[in-house]
Amino acid sequence: MKVHLIDGTYELFRAYFAMPKSTGPSGQPTGAARGLLQTLLSLLRQDDVTHTACAFDSEILSFRNDLFAGYKTGEDTSSDLRAQFELAERVASALGLVVWRMVEFEADDAIATAACRWADDPTVEQVVMCSPDKDLAQVVRGSSVVSLDRRRDQVSDEAGVIDKFGVPPASIPDYLSLVGDSADGIPGVPRWGAKSTAQVLQRYKHIEEIPNDANEWDIKVRGGNTLARNLSEKRELAALYKQLATLRLDVPISESLQCLEWQGARKSEYQALCIECGFDRFIDSPHKWQEGGAPS
């Protein structure tokens, strides 16, 4: 079997910017939730999607904000989109998906924890992380744990990670600590670009192993003296950035693999939600119901 782990927050944001704004009968914003519903319905129609869960950030804040004041806060998230966070979780739940609502942790942490937990299960052929987030590249393992960019219909295995970033999955937190990640508010170390970072990490693997003095490097890198000096001056910050970029594998997920088997949408809950939100055209869209009834 394959296990599909969905970044619900990413899908909600993607839908928000891709879909026209709309409101439900009571005037509540529903456009992003509607787009999320459509993409989840599409995913669930695929024959190999049998075991799945959907992770959400209940708020943009997490434990990482306590570590670094500059970490993403979501302050620029529109109130229209924020108003649909809870609705998005209800959509996924009504579809019969296991929902992981993150408060202290982030959705990526939940996905990483689950991926590592079930990758070694003998009944699992592959874990598919449904998100293009750079952070999740560190979790990719051979072809048994892959990331899926559904917008581009592109799957990345370990070879794909190396091709894209120039480093293997284990070095991704180091890569992001040096290059930075604007999406997460990680500034990186000055002058460390993608090419030079990949070149150095190909040799030293992790930032802790990079000598402070470029004269001690056994590779030739353009601007090496400047890079080494900047890293030496920013060692503590680089270590912090790496900590921010490292996904947690200890999220308290209580479900067993069996719990992730999709049994169908919860008919009464789902159809009531469609009526509430004005999703009339989708009221009979699920091809499978938990109650065992066929779509009317």
Is the pLDDT confidence value at 99 over 50? yes
| Total of domains in the chain | 2
Is the pLDDT confidence value at 72 over 80? yes
> Residue holding tokens 């030739």?
220
- Specify whether 128 is located in the same domain as 208: no
Give pLDDT, residue 296. 43
- Specify whether 89 is located in the same domain as 197: no
pLDDT in tens, 25-60: 999 999 999 999 999 999 999 999 999 999 999 877
Cβ atoms of 118 and 125 closer than 8 Å: no
Give pLDDT, residue 292. 57
- Specify whether 20 is located in the same domain as 122: yes
Angstrom distances, CA of residue 249 to CA of 11, 28, 110, 133, 268? 22, 36, 8, 16, 35
- Specify whether 178 is located in the same domain as 156: no
Give pLDDT, residue 273. 99
Residue 290 located in a structural domain:
no
Give pLDDT, residue 93. 99
**Domain carrying residue 63:** 2-163+248-282
Is the pLDDT confidence value at 188 over 60? yes
Band of pLDDT at residue 247, cut at 50, 70 and 90: very high
Cβ atoms of 157 and 148 closer than 8 Å: no
- Specify whether 80 is located in the same domain as 170: no
- Specify whether 231 is located in the same domain as 264: no
- Specify whether 105 is located in the same domain as 225: no
pLDDT in tens, 265-279: 999 999 999 999 999
Instruction: Give the range among 60-64, 111-115, 216-220 with minimum mean pLDDT.
Output: 60-64
- Specify whether 97 is located in the same domain as 213: no
Give pLDDT, residue 75. 83
- Specify whether 157 is located in the same domain as 217: no
pLDDT in tens, 120-131: 999 999 999 999
Taking all residues of the chain, what is their mean pLDDT, rounded to a whole number?
Answer: 96
Cβ atoms of 78 and 123 closer than 8 Å: no
Residue 230 located in a structural domain:
yes
- Specify whether 196 is located in the same domain as 266: no
Contacts of 293 (CB under 8 A, 6+ apart): 267
Give pLDDT, residue 90. 99
- Specify whether 128 is located in the same domain as 177: no
- Specify whether 114 is located in the same domain as 176: no
Is the pLDDT confidence value at 243 over 70? yes
pLDDT in tens, 143-183: 999 999 999 999 999 999 999 999 999 999 999 999 999 99
Share of the chain above pLDDT 90, in %: 95
pLDDT average, residue stretch 252-257 = 97
Give pLDDT, residue 120. 93
pLDDT average, residue stretch 238-257 = 98
Which sign, positive or negative, has the C-alpha torsion 133, 135, 141, 142?
positive
